[in-house]
A and B are shown apart, each in its own frame.
Chain A
Amino acid sequence: YTQEFGGMSSSYDRALTIFSPDGHLFQVEYAMEAVNRGAATVGLMGSDVIVLAVERRAAPKLQDTRTVRKIVRLDQHISLAFAGLSADARVLIDQARVECQSYRLTVEDAPTVEFVARFVAGVQQQYTQRGGRRPFGVTAMLAGFDPDGTGRLFQTDPTGIYTLWRATAAGNSSKNLMEYLEKNYTDGLAEQEAVVLAVKTLLEVVESGVGHMEVCVMRAGQPAETLSDDALSAVIAEIEAAAAGGGDA
């Protein structure tokens, strides 16, 4: 086939994941745009916990939302939250779950968070290069504790890279959330401080209320805990009381 030269992009760049003349992969970049329209997602490390918090968008009145879980377990010790297309994420999540069990069967040990993040990123990378398929519109945050007890927070994106973070945000208004985190995050947060900061960060863009967010706390050697409505509303109440009482940072 022929390709136009001299323009910023040709009609071919939008259909397949091939390079544009100036070195862009437009489909991948458009996938990042899809992620930016997704639910706001925050992940941050405390001294001995990892907190994942995601926005829950309003569902239609007649929908039963019991089964819609935004933060999912990949393995006993690893959880995943994502921003972007839920159906795409479902595919990645299932492949990651199989890979975790496959690793355990072969190696007789739990996989590290990095291993699973690299696997998910590897799948996402393949869809930027081969097969003529569109990329996954998903930025995934993988959080968990390695067998040696070290906590890790990794993030993958539609380009297929994976990166390690102390705190990160994705999805709707992620720029603002990242700025907020860069201003307010410190290392060595205790569990309650970490939860409060994660919720505070989300509250920058999300409506207040337990129905609008889902928060998951991960501790070494323990199952991941999704905060109950009661626990979460207590945190929100504490934040709002502090904001009303004194100035907020």
Chain B
Amino acid sequence: EFGCTDMDSVIGVTGDNFVIIAADASCARSILVYKQDEDKIVSMDNDTKLMGVAGDTCDRVRFSEYVDRNLALHLMRWDRPMGVKASASFCRTTLATALRQGPFQVNLLLGGLDTDGSASLYQMDYFGTMHKNAFGALGYGAHFVLSTLDQHYREGMSVEEAMEVVAKCVQVLRTRFLINLPRFIVKTCTPEGVTVSEL
């Protein structure tokens, strides 16, 4: 059975100076749920970047740890963190190089703050396709959540307003998506750092 990125629902939203990434906490295969407290969002580079990853646990963990370690190495070498765009490009190149050797079967949302305080979000799939967007979603859940985001997302929202939009997305999934997702872990990256909450 090849890698399945559909079963993880990940949502990402940006504001002028913050990024919110929410991911369901279920780890399951076929009809069996392994655990309901899996954290699929990695906080990297001293809490300046968040990466929500969709895919089977093995590739998800392998990829996110690899990226995390390489960002840390860059920080040690250059005494300053990689920018968000550079980090995303690093992820993309890793995915694209691995594709024809031993692919990482993961889709991801990488969002973070640059040193000037501006926020950005990048969406990637396991081929190495990359797009910069104001918001994004991964998995089956994306089919439902993107229309909610299209309807409610505004540029320049406050953190609270953005959280309400994310809550609406989760609500849509709980109403219309077949798979029960009782728990979402939500991480918010602001200039003060990363805060963790749940929906």
Contact = CB atoms under 8 A, between A and B. Distances in A.
Nearest to A78: B76
B194 to A, nearest CB: 17
Contacts of B79: 69, 73
A101 B76 contact: yes
A224 to B, nearest CB: 12
Contacts of A100: 76
Contacts of A74: 76
Interface string A85-124: 0000000001001101110110000000000000000000
Interface string B73-112: 1001101000000000000000000000000000000000
Contacts, number: 22
B69 to A, nearest CB: 4
Interface in B38-86: 65-66, 69-70, 72-73, 76-77, 79
**Interface of B, helix, strand, loop or mixed by DSSP:** helix
Contacts of B69: 101-102, 104-105
Nearest to B71: A101
A75 interface: yes
Contacts of B76: 73-75, 97, 100-101
A86 B181 CA distance: 56
**Interface of A, helix, strand, loop or mixed by DSSP:** helix
Interface size bracket, B side: under 10
Which of B65, B66, B69, B76 has the most chain A CB atoms inside 10 A of its CB?
Answer: B76
B135 to A, nearest CB: 31
Contacts of B73: 97-98, 101
A100 B73 CA distance: 8
A105 B65 contact: yes
A96 B198 CA distance: 39
A200 B77 CA distance: 31
A73 B77 CA distance: 8
A217 B65 CA distance: 30
Interface of B: 65-66, 69-70, 72-73, 76-77, 79
19 contacts: A69-B79, A73-B76, A73-B79, A74-B76, A75-B76, A94-B77, A97-B73, A97-B76, A97-B77, A98-B73, A101-B70, A101-B72, A101-B73, A101-B76, A102-B69, A104-B69, A104-B72, A105-B65, A105-B69
**What 6 A-B pairs are tightest by C-beta distance, nearest first?**
A101-B73, A105-B69, A101-B69, A97-B76, A101-B72, A73-B76
